[in-house]
Amino acid sequence: MAERSIVAETAEKIFADLADPQTINKAPAEKWRPALWQTLEESVLTLAWVPDDLGGAGTSLAEGFEVLDVAGRFATPIPLAETLLAGWLLSRAKIASPQGAMSVIPCRPNDTITVNADGTLSGRAQTVPFARETKHLAVLATGKGGVSIALVETDKCQLTEARSLARDPADNIVLDRVMPKEIAHPAGEFDQTALMLMGAAVRAQQTAGALQRILDISVRYANERIAFEKPLAKFQAIQHNLARLAGEVAAAMTAASSAADAISNADAFDEEIYLEAASAKIRTSEAAQESAAIAHQVHGAIGFTDEHILHRFTLRMLGWRDDFGSESYWAVELGRRVAARGADAFWPLLASR
């Protein structure tokens, strides 16, 4: 994804004009939010992964991942990634996406939604991003007939408000025999693991975008901040930390881009996609932890204040680590798969990527 598409350029212009982090930090009562969301909807970026015949933009998966990279570099607290993912999930079952913000359930590997005999849905989903700000949920459910995908009205569910590490909505949801607006089986082979892998790739791309901005902010601050009559960037310890930060960012960008490219060119969520998406989530999550520590060390106490924008990126990407499987979860699952395939199959799988 070296050359940006016109879709990504459009997204970047919208975010730069309406969602600059410094402007958002100073804006009272989030007055910036309605104008930003309306512009994104008018540009059909919120439904970028929905085909034309289902009311979306019909852009490619690769272009959608570019939009997520842009969104990560602005770390704006809106459900753009969730709406993109929800539209993608609904389109797997040929269900048209409604207008407005959406979220996805389940977004934890161990949460399960069940299709009852009467067609209603039951189950629990923890820490669903931005759930209270949505009108609809895209739901993956299982039943005797196999896997189903459903469109559910959020207000039909029982919602307990909670917040993420970055204080964004991350609500707990209970479905108690909820009747969906629409429900259908997905085309081809599809299961909850595939949804988790796609969600992991989405969060990896957002994290990579946020890391790029964190590096820019840290380098700029180190060059501008004067201590003992010289810029911080002149001190060897700071130079060493910034070099480590740059290495983490480069590794995360490579892993996220590789997973996005693999998914964009694949026909199914096979073993190679599993390796790519799981590895991307592991590596970007590790980079998020290491890079947040380095960036705050460079900035000192100022980076933790509400007035500074650094925390907007670090807290958000640290919270993303738990969505769609943490790095610990994916490390264990990936290890199990590799071990089950046997030692002779590991190198061919790795070398094929």
The packing angle between helices 33-42 and 6-18, to 10°, is 160
User: Residues 99, 73, 64, 281: is their CA dihedral positive or negative?
Assistant: negative
Q: Hey, which residues does 282 pair with through a beta bridge?
A: none
Residue 187 in this model has a pLDDT that exceeds 60: yes
CA dist., res. 346 & res. 57, Å (int): 39
Mean pLDDT, rounded, for 54-58: 91
Which of 188, 220, 252 is the last residue in one of the domains? 188
Confidence class for position 345, pLDDT limits 50, 70, 90 = confident
Residues 68 and 1 in one domain: yes
Q: For residue 106, is the peptide bond before it cis, meaning its omega torsion is within 30 degrees of 0?
A: yes
Confidence class for position 1, pLDDT limits 50, 70, 90 = very low
How many separate domains does the chain show?
3
3-class DSSP state of 114: strand
3-class DSSP state of 129: strand
| Domain at 246, CATH number | 1.20.140.10
Residues 143 and 219 in one domain: no
Residue 224, token pair as written in the block? 């501008």
**Is position 203 within any domain?**
yes
Tokens 């881009």 locate to 257
**Is position 210 within any domain?**
yes
Q: How do 136-143 and 170-178 pair as beta strands?
A: unpaired
Backbone angles phi, psi at 278, to 5 degrees: -65, -45
Which of 21, 43, 76 is the last residue in one of the domains? 76
Residues 212 and 132 in one domain: no
Mean pLDDT, rounded, for 167-192: 96
Residues 114 and 58 in one domain: no
Residues 136 and 183 in one domain: yes
Q: Hey, which residues does 151 pair with through a beta bridge?
A: 138, 182
Mean pLDDT, rounded, for 64-70: 97
What percent of the chain has a predicted confidence (pLDDT) above 70?
A: 98
Question: What does the pLDDT look like over 195-241, one tens digit per residue?
Answer: 999 999 999 999 999 999 999 999 999 999 888 889 998 999 999 99
CA dist., res. 143 & res. 172, Å (int): 22
Residues 223 and 181 in one domain: no
Residue 348 in this model has a pLDDT that exceeds 90: no
> For 60, left (φ over 0), alpha (ψ -120 to 50), or beta?
beta
Closest to 131 measured CA to CA, from 277, 328, 281, 323:
323
CA distances from residue 341 to 230, 269, 305, 345 in whole angstroms, order as listed:
56, 17, 49, 6
Residue 318, token pair as written in the block? 């640290």
Quote the strand ranges of the chain, DSSP E. 102-105, 113-115, 121-129, 136-143, 146-153, 158-160, 170-178, 182-184, 226-227, 230-231
**Is position 204 within any domain?**
yes
**Is position 16 within any domain?**
yes
Provide the residue range defining the domain that includes 54: 1-76
Question: What does the pLDDT look like over 270-283, one tens digit per residue?
Answer: 999 999 999 999 99
**Is position 201 within any domain?**
yes
What percent of the chain has a predicted confidence (pLDDT) above 90?
A: 85
Residue 29 in this model has a pLDDT that exceeds 70: no
Residues 307 and 338 in one domain: yes
Mean pLDDT, rounded, for 61-75: 96
| pLDDT at residue number 2 | 53
**Is position 119 within any domain?**
yes
**Is position 246 within any domain?**
yes
CA dist., res. 52 & res. 32, Å (int): 29
Mean pLDDT, rounded, for 253-257: 97
Which of 26, 42, 76 is the last residue in one of the domains? 76
CA distances from residue 166 to 280, 313, 348 in whole angstroms, order as listed:
22, 9, 41
Residues 332 and 184 in one domain: no
| pLDDT at residue number 221 | 95
Residues 110 and 183 in one domain: yes
Is the pTM here over 0.85, yes or no? yes
Residue 40 in this model has a pLDDT that exceeds 80: yes
Residues 277 and 345 in one domain: yes
Residues 124 and 32 in one domain: no
CA dist., res. 331 & res. 153, Å (int): 34
Mean pLDDT, rounded, for 160-166: 96
Residue 11, token pair as written in the block? 């997204």
Residues 251 and 158 in one domain: no
The mean of the pLDDT values for the chain is 94
Helix (H) or strand (E) holding 210, with range, is helix 192-224
| Domain at 167, CATH number | 2.40.110.10
**Is position 270 within any domain?**
yes
